């Protein structure tokens, strides 16, 4: 039996530095999620992404955590 796929919001960044800074900011703000290798469905220069559960509240928390610090390359809703 395979692992069940679940929907996630995946945020890509232009650089590894930005991805690591997003992780730091999200941990400080207690945004649920984690750094993952960039899924093949997303084209980006950086090999890392921040993945979090779906939901408007989670996305709003993420946006508030990085506001004024980082600009994501892309925000995607995908099945992982």
What the block records as the tokens of 15 is 């650089």
Question: Across 2-80, where does the E strand assignment appear?
Answer: 7-12, 34-37, 48-52, 74-79
How many other C-beta atoms are found inside a 10 Å radius of the C-beta of residue 54?
12
Two tokens at 78? 């995908």
**pLDDT category, 1, cuts 50, 70, 90?**
low
User: For 33-66, what is each residue's pLDDT tens digit?
Assistant: 999 999 988 988 889 999 999 999 999 999 999 9
pTM: 0.90
Q: What is the mean pLDDT of residues 7-25?
A: 96
> Residue 33: which of 3, 54, 53 has the closest Cα?
53
């Amino acid at each position: 039996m395979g692992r069940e796929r679940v929907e996630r919001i995946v945020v890509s960044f232009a650089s590894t530095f930005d991805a690591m800074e997003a992780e730091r900011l999200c941990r400080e703000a207690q945004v649920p999620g984690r750094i993952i290798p960039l899924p093949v469905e997303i084209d980006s220069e950086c090999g890392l992404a921040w993945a979090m559960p779906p939901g408007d509240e989670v996305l709003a928390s993420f946006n508030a955590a990085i506001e004024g610090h980082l600009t994501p390359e892309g925000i995607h809703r995908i099945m992982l």
